[in-house]
Amino acid sequence: MAFELPKLEYEYAALEPHIDARTMEIHYTRHHQAYVTNLNNALTGSEWGKKSLEEILSGVSKLPVAVRNNGGGHFNHTLFWTVMAPNAGGPPQGELLDALNRYFGSFDKFKEQFANAGMTRFGSGWAWLVKAGNELKITSTPNQDNPLMDIADVKGIPILGVDVWEHAYYLKYQNRRNEYLTAFWNVVNWDEVARRLKF
């Protein structure tokens, strides 16, 4: 069964002024759609085409680079759209806040470390908050890699991710990645992050 572009649950302009509508439209309809199309093409005629995306990523070292790049791109963006929402941001609550305080010292220290993972990722990639066993870890990956992949330095279940490819922010922020990462906190959907935590 072919993979499909997931439905975006809000309008392109819904994350303004933090994420601009034109960037959202191009990012979703062109970049994400291209990953889906290219992933389906790369899996044509392969038994891997019958597996879930998570199964594919967990065995990606055995697969062509086109599957790694486009499968990662599809998973990463699908998560990205859901961990953002209009009228979101602020601090998380409950178990999630307790976990961030426990593993990173405070919510502010977590934000600092997470933003640093995004800022220090050379070139294109992602910063992640990962559930690794019963721990939370911050990591970053190059290109469209993610912590589900068997080639990842830090393996685990991504529960929050931010895209630091230039296409995610360049129209509004140009080379000011730090401003984009600061703005990101205003749109984080903590309810979805908490749902993914499932401690």
Residue 45 is encoded by which pair of tokens?
A: 């005629």
Q: What is the pLDDT of residues 86-105, one digit of tens each?
A: 999 999 999 999 999 999 99
Quickly name the fold that domain 94-198 has.
minor pseudopilin epsh fold (3.55.40)
Which candidate, 186, 145, 172, 128, places its Cα nearest to that of 26?
A: 172
* Long-range contacts (CB closer than 8 Å, 24 or more residues apart) made by 93-101: 93/190, 93/194, 94/194, 95/194, 95/197, 95/199, 96/190, 96/193, 96/194, 96/197, 99/136, 99/197, 99/199, 100/136
15 Cβ contact list (under 8 Å, min separation 6) = 24, 84, 86, 187
DSSP code at position 148: T
pLDDT greater at residue 1 or residue 191 = 191
Q: What is the pLDDT of residues 88-147, one digit of tens each?
A: 999 999 999 999 999 999 999 999 999 999 999 999 999 999 999 989 999 999 999 999
Confidence (pLDDT) at 35: 98
Domain ranges of the chain: 20-82, 94-198
Q: Please state, in angstroms and rounded to a whole number, the distance separating the CA atoms of residues 79 and 64.
A: 23
Residue 199 clears pLDDT 70, i.e. is over it: no
Q: What are phi and psi of 136, to 5 degrees?
A: -110, 135
pLDDT band at 1 (very low <50, low <70, confident <90, very high): low
Residue 22 is encoded by which pair of tokens?
A: 């034109």
Quickly name the fold that domain 20-82 has.
Helix Hairpins (1.10.287)
Contact (Cβ atoms closer than 8 angstroms) between residue 158 and residue 148? yes
Average pLDDT over residues 170-189: 98
Confidence (pLDDT) at 69: 98
Q: What is the pLDDT of residues 65-85, one digit of tens each?
A: 999 999 999 999 999 999 999
Q: What is the pLDDT of residues 143-159, one digit of tens each?
A: 999 999 999 999 999 99
